[in-house]
Structures are given as C-alpha cells and as structure tokens.
Amino acid sequence: MTASLGNRRERIDALAARAGQVPDDGGGVSLTRSAFRRLRRDPVAILGAVIVVLFLLVAVFAPWLAPRDPLEQALLSEVRQGFIPGAREGFPLGVDQLGRDELSRLIYGSRQSLMIGVISTVLGAAAGMALGVLAGAFGGWVDTVVMRFVDIILSIPGLLMAISISVLLGQNQYALMIAIAVTQVPVFARLLRGSMLAQRDSDYAVAAKALGVKPSRIVLGHVLPNSLSPVIVQATLSLATAIIEAAALSYLGLGDPNIGRPEWGAMLSNAQAVLSFRPQLAIYPALCIIVVALGFTLLGESLREALDPKFRR
Amino acid sequence: MLRFIVRRLVQLVPILLGLSVLLFAWLRALPGGPAQAALGERATPEDIARYNEVFGLDQPVLVQYGKFVGRALQLDFGTSSRTGRAVTTEFLERFPGTVELTIFAMVFAIGVGIPLGYLAARKHGSWIDSTSVIGSLLGVAIPVFFLAYLLRLAFAVELGWLPGSGRQDVRIDATHISNFYVLDGLLTREWDAAWDALQHLVLPGIALGTIPLAIIVRITRASVLEVVNEDYVRTANAKGLAAKTVRQRHIIRNALLPVSTTIGLQTGLLLSGAVLTETVFAFGGVGSALADAIANRDYALLQGFILILAIVYVVANLLVDISYGLLDPRVRVR
C-alpha cells in the first residue's frame, strides 16, 4: 500500500498517476477482469459487498420488511417522562420517544440514509469529474484556474463547508445532499485530473493522435474511460463519509426537518435526549451507520488494492 | 529553502482572495442579506435600512467587497447578533480552549497511533496487526459525536471518573491570564486549577483524537511495511548492524516521513470534529460557539469564525509543507 505518501493532495495525485501505469505482467487479461478475479477471492471485499448489498436490499424492500408503519405512534400512551417501553411482542426493538416501532423506523431509515449518501456522492463525483476532465483535458491556464478553485474549496474544513452551505440553502434534504456533495468535489476533481494527465501521454493516446482521431474523442473515448478506476474507488469510500457527515449535520440541527421520513442521523441525534434511560434508541441507528460505513470502506479499500496494478499478481 | 517558502507564500494569495470572495458572497446570498444577519431576525425594516446606510450596503458591490476585505485585514468581522460582542473578541476568548483540546487530541493520537502502527507492521499478520487494522477502520466509521456521547455516558455519568462538561470546575477560583486554562494554572502555580483543566480535556480529547488515531495507525503501519522491504534496510541488516540501530536509524526515521505530513494535515479534521465534540461536552471553545451560532442563526459569528478557521487551516497546511520541505529535501525541488 503506497497510500502512505501522507500529504492528502499528493496521495490523491499518486493514486491517480498509478492508474496510468502499465502492469508488468498483464498476461492478456484485462485489468478489470483480473481485478474482479482477485476481488472474488478477497474475504474483506466479500464482507464489504455482503454488507452493502444487504443494506441496499433492506432499503429497496423496506415496505415489505418493516413489521409496522414507521410513523404510527402505536405505544405513545405508554411513553412517560423517564420511561420508554422496550422490546416486546410485535415490537422487537421497542419503540422510540413518540411510541413508534423502532425496528420499522430503522428499516425505513435505511432508504433515506442511503439515498442521501448515494445522491450526494453522485453529485459530488459528477461535479468533481467535470472539473477534473476540464483541467486534465485542456491543461495550461484552464488547468491552473480550475485547480486554484478546487484549492479554495479544499481550504475550508469539510464540515464547516457543509455547515455554510446548508445554512445558506435552508433546511431540507436537498440542501443536505448539496452541502455534502460540495465537500466531495475537490477530491474527485484532483483525482480525475491527475489520472487523466497520467494517461494523456500514454502510448495509446499518442497512437490515436497519430491516426488523426479528434481530440474530443481521444479524451472522452480513450483517456476518460481509462482514468475512471481511482474515481470508482474514491466514490465507494466517499459513500461512507457522506453517510457519517449527514448524521453530523443532523446532529447540529441542519438535517432534514421532515418527520415523515425516518433517517438514521436524525434518529441518533433525537435519541440524545433520552440517552440516560433508553440508550438503545441511540445505539441502534448508530450501529446501522457504523456497519454501512464500514461496508463501503471495506469494499472501497479492497477495490483500491484490486485495481492497483502494483498488487497485480 | 527560502525560495521554497516564498513560493508557497505566493501560492497562498489566490486562495485567501478566493476565500474572502466566497464568504463575502455567502453573507450576501443569505435570506435577508447581511443586515438581517447582523441585526437578527427581529430587526425592523427601518433598522435594516439604517444598517445598510451605515455600513455602505447601498453602494456598488465592488466597493462593498473592498470594505469587507479592509475590515477583515484589521481583524474586524462584525459583531455577534446574539451576544452583541465583537466576533474577534469572541474568537480570541474561545480559541485557546480549542487549541488545548486539539493539542491533547493530537498527543493522544500520536502517542498511541505511532507505536501501535509500528507494532502492527512488525507483527504483520498477527492478532495485533488484524486488531489494529479493524480498529482503525472502525475508528473512521463511528460518528464522532456518538463516540463522544458514549465516552461521556460511561466515564463521566456512570463511573464518574472524569468531568463530562465544561473546561474547568466552576468551584475552582482560577486566575486566567491567557485563556489557556492548563497553561494559566501552571503559570500562576495554581496546580489544582491546572490539574482540573487537564482532566476536563481527557474525554473530549480522546473522542476528538479517534479519527486521527485511526489514520495515523494505518499510515504508520503501511509506511513501516514499505520501508522494511527497502534495499537499504536489507543492506543495513546484511552488513551486520545491530537490530536496534537498523530500527532507529533506517526504519523508523524513514517511515515517519509520510506520518509527519498526515499529522499536520489532520488539523482540518480536528476543527470539524471539534464542532461536534465540543457540543457534546459543552466545552465552550470555538466548536461549541459555532454550533450555538447555527442554532441561533448568528450569521455574523458564523462567517467570521469560518473565515478565521479557514485561514488557520491554510496557514497550518503551509507550515506542514514547509516542515516537510525541511525534513525531506526532495520536496523543495518540485
């Protein structure tokens, strides 16, 4: 693992540069296929994939899996100051402070939490990639301007950036997604730029140029697809960060105010008030966040190793 | 070396300019504009008109921006709409607490992280190795504020071993000269005041230090694993140097290079984490002030604090770059 160059920028650039290296013992197998073959043998990757797929399935099939309506205040009459009913028949994890079935809320919550993670990462990756392609394809002053802009975004610590944006856009789930997306932009921009720069002088790009292929086709048809693997790795890792960051923003009161949509971050922060007598209400959503984040991280890290030509055997 | 430093300083200029434009635009894009932001939500239209006149908000945007930069250069970031005090005063009062907390968190992360990462690498594949790898993955996956809550619940509320809120026991009559409470205690020889302030740092410091700890363990481990296989280590071993000498001169020294930059670059993470940790522990530093400002829509304070913190972050990164240039001559050339 040479991800140890330390400096964040340099690390991203190094990762990008490595995507351009030609593997020494290709053996006629494509990089993607050999990566996939190694992934299937890697227990860490399998564990990560299983976690991710499991949660995705739960999110998709939430209405069928949840035993109850997540909004129904079934046991509200039994909730008192300092007491919230625990697990019992029909309520396997008990109820929350408003008498709603905790398990059903967790199951439905996976939809909202995963959606925030996925959409904000897709947005951030798309914007970052657009900037990265611009910088990597044109080079010169375009590169300088784009990268200075990225440096400016990078100069505000992530959470502070997200806070400023959600304060600006008001409190709704879209503001939350955009806020998290913006914090992801710099990484993707730098990554794709570096990786495209590494590809630009590769033999096939030069060959395509010599054959008279239009520059736009070289960039979009040849260089870009070959520069994508570090982006995919980063996107997987960013999903974990996005979900955790959404929880943090929720905690600071900048989350989605719509109580009709249960969400793990909001559940976790709402539970702080009852932590002293019913900590489970905080622990369950926290566990969900931790396990999902861990799943994406494991998957991302093993993807990184699988796609790295250095690790190719 | 001097040229390297100057070049880095020059590179700072566009970033700082961009930052100021961003935050200037931010305050103007807010619902209600800067007048509402400064006067609060209960301001009447007359108040707002008067404010706009006094602060020249009816003038062209470029003139306004010029004045904004001018004021910022004089460290004038307006007044907090909640407390009515100057944002700079608020910041200076609260920043020492955050610095103390950050230092504690970093000492914890480095003190535990480097030995653990080294051990994991040297016992590659053992249970120590796998435990620290899993631990470092977990450390990044736990929401900081949740960890802070757990620590507070366990060690402050249930066991009562350590204080769970604030920076110092209110019953202690301590003299504050620098607002660094631990330092104050030491300078004035009020030993129990210093000891008490230090105890208040432990739980939030550990919570804040977890993410850096996880990252430091991983980087140290990866970097030691890489260095151990280098030719010069094999040479050193082959020529019969004592294991201790190889370890100290060849392995640790080279392995710590990437670790040292990572350590410096954690400042951003720490500033972000401080907002969450300080809120949980009602610590009263910059972080809890930011959280309060969000809750109270105190935009002037938010803008000022974010701008100052971003500058702190940029300067910290610059210092890291320079120190890296000192440590590793190869960096200077690029």
Q: Which has the closest alpha carbon to B267: B222, B319, B217? A: B319
Separation between Cα atoms, residue A80 and residue A76, nearest integer Å: 9
Give A132-149 pLDDT, tens digit per residue: 888 888 878 888 888 888
236-265 in A: which are within 8 Å (CB) of B? Answer: 240, 244, 247-248, 251-254, 265
B-chain CB neighbours of A55 within 8 Å are none
pLDDT at A1: 33
Q: Which residues of B touch A279 (CB under 8 A)?
A: 153
> Cα separation of B100 and A257, whole Å?
35
Select the residue of B14, B29, B222 nearest A168 (Cβ to Cβ): B29
CB-neighbour burial class of residue A54 (10 A; exposed 0-12, middle 13-18, buried 19+): middle
For residue B120, what is the enclosing H or E element? helix B87-122
- Give A2's pLDDT tier (boundaries 50, 70, 90): very low
Calpha distance B29→A170 (Å, rounded):
12
pLDDT at residue A125, rounded to an integer: 92
* Residues recorded for chain B: 334
Two structure tokens written together for B252: 């640790």
Min distance A222 CA to chain B CA atoms (Å): 29
For residue A113, give the nearest of A293, A294, A254 by alpha carbon. Answer: A293
Q: pLDDT digits over A9-32, tens only?
A: 665 666 666 655 554 444 556 667
**CB contact (8 A) between residue A244 and residue B143:** yes
What's the pLDDT at A119?
93
pLDDT of A168 > 90? The answer is: no
Cβ within 8 Å, pair A168-B30: yes
> In angstroms, what separates the C-alpha of B97 from chain A's closest C-alpha?
18
Quick one: which of B203, B179, B326, B189 has its CA closest to B257?
B326
Nearest-Cα distance to chain B for A58, in Å, is 20
Inter-axis angle of helices B144-151 and A229-251, to 10 degrees? 50
Confidence at A120, pLDDT banded by 50, 70, 90: very high
A–B CB contacts, 8 A cutoff, strictly below: 151
- Verify whether the Cβ–Cβ distance B314 to A155 is below 8 Å: yes
Four-residue CA torsion sign, A17, A20, A24, A29: positive
More confident residue, A272 or A126: A126
Q: Touching check for A133 and chain B: CB below 8 Å? A: no
How many angstroms away from the CA of A198 is the closest CA of chain B?
17
For chain A, what's the residue count? 313
- Shortest Cα–Cα distance, B190 to chain A (Å): 35
* CB within 8 Å: B276 and A149: no
For residues B284 and B179, the answer to whether their CB atoms sit within 8 Å is no
CA-nearest of A227, A271, A263 to A242 is A263
- B219 contact residues in A (CB cutoff 8 A): 3-4, 6
Q: Cα–Cα distance between B292 and B277 in angstroms, integer? A: 13
Within the 170-199 window of chain A, which residues sit less than 8 Å (CB to CB) from chain B?
170
How far apart, in Å, do the first and last CA atoms of chain B sit? 12
Mean pLDDT of chain A: 80
Cβ separation B141–A149 shorter than 8 A: no
Residue A155 to residue B275, Cβ atoms within 8 A: no
Q: Residue-wise pLDDT tens for chain B (334 aa)?
A: 778 788 878 888 888 888 888 888 887 777 767 777 667 667 777 877 777 777 667 777 788 888 888 888 888 877 777 777 888 888 888 888 888 888 889 899 989 998 998 888 888 878 888 888 888 888 888 888 888 888 888 887 878 787 777 777 767 777 777 777 777 777 777 777 777 777 788 889 999 989 889 988 988 888 888 888 888 888 888 888 888 888 878 888 778 877 777 776 677 678 778 888 888 888 888 888 888 888 877 787 888 888 888 888 888 878 877 777 777 766 665 4
- Residue whose C-alpha is closest to residue A67's, from A98, A88, A97: A88
How far does B28 lie from chain A, in Å, by closest CA? 10
Tokens representing B141?
């996956």
Select the residue from A113, A160, A298 to test the B interface by mutation, using most B Cβ atoms within 10 A.
A160
Q: Where are the alpha helices (DSSP H) in chain A?
A: 8-19, 31-41, 43-60, 62-65, 102-138, 140-154, 158-169, 173-200, 203-210, 215-217, 224-226, 229-251, 264-270, 280-307
Closest-CA residue of B relative to A283 is B146
Report the Cα–Cα distance between both ends of chain A, in Å, rounded. 14
C-alpha B95: how far from its chain's center? 10
pLDDT of residue A26: 46
Residue A268 sits at the chain B interface (C-beta within 8 Å): yes
Q: What is the pLDDT of residue A27?
A: 52
| pLDDT value for A6 | 41
The reported pLDDT for the residue numbered A5 is 37
Q: Given pLDDT bands bounded at 50, 70 and 90, which one contains residue A165?
A: confident
Q: List the single residue in B with minimal CA-CA distance to A153.
A: B19
**ipTM, 2 dp:** 0.80
Across the interface, do B226 and A2 touch by the CB < 8 Å criterion? Answer: yes
Which residues of B fall within a CB distance of 8 Å from A298? Answer: 137
Closest-approach residue (CA) in chain B for A169: B30
CA distance B107 to chain A (A): 18
Q: Answer whether residue A3 shows pLDDT above 50.
A: no
Give A37 to chain B, closest Cα distance, Å: 23
Give the global pTM. Answer: 0.81
Average pLDDT over residues A242-263: 83
A157 contact residues in B (CB cutoff 8 A): 267-269, 271-272, 309-310, 313
- A52 pLDDT higher than 60: yes
pLDDT value at A126 more than 90? yes
pLDDT, tens digit, 9 for 90 and up, residues A269-305: 888 878 778 888 888 899 999 999 999 988 888 888 7
- Residue B86's DSSP bridge partners are B79
Q: Hey, of B26, B28, B138, B146, which one would you mutate to test binding to chain A, going by the most A CBs within 10 A of its CB?
A: B146
Contact list, B153 vs chain A (CB under 8 Å) = 275-276, 279
Per-residue buried b or exposed e for B297-309, using 16+ beta carbons within 10 Å of the residue's own CB:
bbbbbbbbbbbbb
- What the block records as the tokens of B119 is 């051990």
